Amino acid sequence: MGYDYLKQTERPSIEISDEVTEAVADILSGVRERGDDAVREFTARFDGVERESIRVTEAELEAARAEISDEDRDTIDTVVDNVHAFHEEQPDHIEGFEKEFHPGVRMGQRIVPVESAGVYIPGGRYPLVASPAMTIVPAVIAGVDRIVACAPPGKEGGIKPAQLYAMDAAGADEIYCVGGAQAIGAMAYGTESVDAVDHVGGPGNVFTTEAKRQVYGKVGIDFLAGPTEVLILADGTADPALVATDLLAQSEHGVDSRPVLITTDEALARETMDEIEAQLPDLRTEDVARECWERHGEVIVADRMAEAVDLTNDYAMEHLQVMTEDPRALMEDLHNYGSLFLGDGSPVVFGDKSAGTNHSLPTLEISKYSGGIWVGTYCKVLTHQEATGEGAARIAEHAAAVCGIEGTHAHQRSAEARLDYGG
């Protein structure tokens, strides 16, 4: 195999510093022990905001609706509708079943939603308005009875109006103005204002990610993720200006984002690098995008497309954008990614902001064993069985024999009690 790394960086990992781990443990301990008082204290300390009530009121929702323009409301509603339409198809492909496997022995499974779910909506540099649809809508479609959403306050003391409107439009039942690890703790453990949930998910920074790790077990979580990633797989037919534009789009997320180009064409690789340098000065987010590209950008030239595909699967990136002459021809060979974008007309920004597929996706090679948020994230697969007298007698003989081998005598007696069972 042959690769030429024109630009290479060290692969990141999910490792979290001891300082962050200890700080999050202190926050979660405070929330678990002191509830709302701790949440308000941490909100004042970390966000510089003091609120009497952490739950968003109807008056705040009305104010948010009034503050944003009709055009912005229509845009957010369209995003919610698109995400809803795509995810509404998913339950048709999650199937329960029941079947008679042996005479008198029926077994099967049911797909059942969790009863309550909490979602975290990040604030940070860009208070995202598409994120509420991505995390809340799948829970709505799954049939979750109670959906709690948390987002950090802005400088004015409340959730940004457009983000708050999006959370409401997506279908949240309760909205709380709380950010960071304290939000994860409030949803996981419960406080005077927030009843605990069964599942916590949604993207966030290193503190919310570490908080999800620490509360896992008390509640379920979606997955642990790091900064956003994009890998563009291209051949010589790709437009270097478009490739550069799409790499920079992910670079502006943050200085720790990860933009990677793998191509079979060295000329494209070098032209793309030149294009990036040419486009950066025109970006209002140049400072962030430039630092990200310089620190984490990679450009790799492979000898053959098969080698490029193998390396792409090894990188297992969050977003995989294929810009080749025939993108679909490679689809069956690509299997490690969070979401796939086929062709020059399908940039990552479409999936991130409006197309309808989910943008809460695995990073840091987690796509080697897990996918992103979908309707099934909020569902449990529950199995069941039922045996008639004939079926019980058939199974009992083998079950009792297994117990005899193991030495689990009480289990053996339970099985043998069904050898002549007439139920």
Rounded Cα distance between 342 and 323, Å, is 7
> Around Cβ 181, how many Cβ atoms within 10 Å?
29
Q: What is the mean pLDDT for each group of 10 consecutive residues in the chain (423 residues)?
A: 78 82 96 96 94 95 95 95 95 93 94 97 80 96 98 91 96 97 98 98 93 97 92 98 97 94 97 98 96 96 97 97 97 97 95 92 93 95 94 92 96 93 63
| Residue 233: closest CA among 382, 85, 348, 88 | 348
- Reference 276, options 22, 6, 1, 26; nearest CA is 6
297 located within any domain: yes
Which of 333, 348, 371 finishes a domain? 371
The reply to whether 175 falls in a domain is yes
70-112 per-position pLDDT tens digit: 999 999 999 999 999 999 999 999 999 999 999 999 999 999 9
Let me know if 13 is exposed, middle or buried by CB neighbors in 10 A (0-12, 13-18, 19+): exposed
Distance CA 105, CA 102 (A): 5
Same domain, 79 and 96: yes
**What is the structure's pLDDT at 420?**
84
Question: Which DSSP letter does residue 12 get?
Answer: P
Polymer length in residues for the chain: 423
DSSP string, 115-176: SEEEEE---TTS--SSHHHHHHHHHHHHT-SEEEEEE---TTSS--HHHHHHHHHHT-SEEE
**Single-letter residue type at 233:** L
287: in domain: yes
Interhelix angle 58-67/161-170, rounded to 10 degrees, is 110
Report how far residue 94's alpha carbon sits from residue 379's, in angstroms, rounded to the nearest whole number. Answer: 10
Q: Residue holding tokens 């004042």?
A: 44
**Residues 210 and 266 grouped into a single domain:** no
Q: Which residues are catalytic?
A: 318-319
Question: End of a domain among 221, 236, 271?
Answer: 221
258 phi, psi to nearest 5 deg: -135, 100
Beta-bridge partners for 383: 109
8 Å CB contact between 159 and 196 = no
* Residue 258 sits in the same domain as residue 152: no
Query: In total, how many domains does the chain have?
Result: 2
Look up the domain containing 108 and give its range: 18-221
Are 196 and 49 in the same domain? Answer: yes
Domain assignment present for 399: no
Neighbours of 118 (CB within 10 A): 30
Q: Is residue 45 domain-shared with residue 158, that is, in the same domain?
A: yes
Residues 6 or more apart whose Cβ sits within 8 Å of residue 168: 61, 64, 65, 175
- Angle at the Cα of 315 (from 312 to 10), degrees rounded to 5? 130
Hey, which residues does 301 pair with through a beta bridge?
4, 263
Q: For residues 287 and 157, state if they share a domain.
A: no
Say if 196 falls within a structural domain. Answer: yes
Q: Both 299 and 236 in a single domain?
A: yes
The Cβ of residue 192 has, within 10 Å, a number of other Cβ atoms equal to 12
**Terminal Cα-to-Cα distance of the chain (whole angstroms):** 65
What pTM was computed for the model? 0.91
Q: Read off the CATH number of the domain in which 234 is found.
A: 3.40.50.1980
Residue 279 within a domain: yes
Say if residue 214 is in the same domain as residue 241. Answer: no
Contact assessment for residue 316 and residue 367, using Cβ atoms and an 8 Å cutoff:
yes
Q: Tell whether 414 is covered by a domain.
A: no
User: Side-chain half-sphere of 156: how many Cα atoms within 13 Å?
Assistant: 6
- Sign of the CA dihedral 205, 211, 214, 216? negative
Chain-centre distance for alpha carbon 102: 40
For residues 307 and 349, state if they share a domain. Answer: yes
Query: Using CA atoms, how far apart are residues 230 and 208, in angstroms rounded to an integer?
Result: 22
Statement to judge: residues 278 and 215 lie in one domain: no
Residue 308 lies in a domain: yes
For residue 384, count CB atoms less than 10 angstroms from its CB and return exposed for 0-12, middle for 13-18, buried for 19 or more.
exposed
Cα distance between residue 139 and residue 216, in whole Å: 19
Choose one of 187, 221, 255: the last residue of a domain: 221
pLDDT value of residue 423: 54
